[in-house]
Chains A and B, each alone.
Chain A
């Protein structure tokens, strides 16, 4: 089944403790992206990747890192999480040229 998977789905952590949210797609998509969704602010793009080893900042990249060493994986790294990074995070992928985005199920992160 074609899908985008994220792990973990739920995470509660403390300020400053490094964490990684994984994202994987099995559709051989070139383009992958991370978003956060907050009440009243909607979905905002954090980082995106056009292909392996090619990444760029979205609208809200501060406090986040990404890497794209393999085509199927695009992990989101929070080196030192803070409470303002409490949010619902989505990973998405698409085929270059068409750009119809397919979303993962989301990761709900709480930073205390």
Chain B
């Protein structure tokens, strides 16, 4: 059974810093990996989707990488801003599966 781990569970950084969030998964047979943002009491907003054949995806200040063979993905946030404060979740879809397995998230606080 696929397990997804996100470390650290919480992270606090000063405004302007570049930072990396980590996601690891136990079964490398995946279809894709998706990064989400969740604000308190709100739904999930999709940030980036990486297909299993891709190595990375970029959107604005965000860059997500995928190393399927080692079971790892990272989300890089450049020049962090207080508005980036949220919980970031990664989710993996297994190959040949319709099920999505989520990590428990990293709660990011960007201090002005």
Is B98 touching A50 in the complex (CB atoms < 8 A)?
A: yes
Which of A43, A44, A90, A106: most chain B CB closer than 10 A? A43
B42 at the interface (CB under 8 A from A): yes
Kindly provide the distance from the CB of A91 to the nearest chain B CB, expressed in whole angstroms: 9
Q: How many residues of B sit at the interface, in one of the four size bands?
A: 20 to 34
Asked if B43 and A90 make an inter-chain contact with CB atoms under 8 angstroms apart, the answer reads: yes
Query: Is B63 engaged at the interface, CB distance under 8 Å to the other chain?
Result: no
User: CB-CB < 8 A to B21: which residues of A?
Assistant: none
13 CB-based A-B contacts, threshold 8 Å: A33-B100, A43-B89, A45-B101, A48-B98, A50-B98, A99-B93, A100-B34, A100-B46, A102-B46, A103-B36, A103-B43, A103-B46, A105-B42
Give the interface of A toward B (CB within 8 A): 31, 33, 35, 40-45, 48, 50, 56, 58-59, 90, 92, 98-106
Chain B residues with CB under 8 Å of chain A are 31-32, 34, 36, 41-46, 49, 89, 91, 93, 98-105
Given contacts A42-B103, A43-B89, 11 further A-B pairs with CB under 8 A are A31-B98, A33-B100, A45-B100, A50-B98, A90-B44, A92-B44, A99-B31, A100-B49, A101-B91, A103-B44, A106-B41
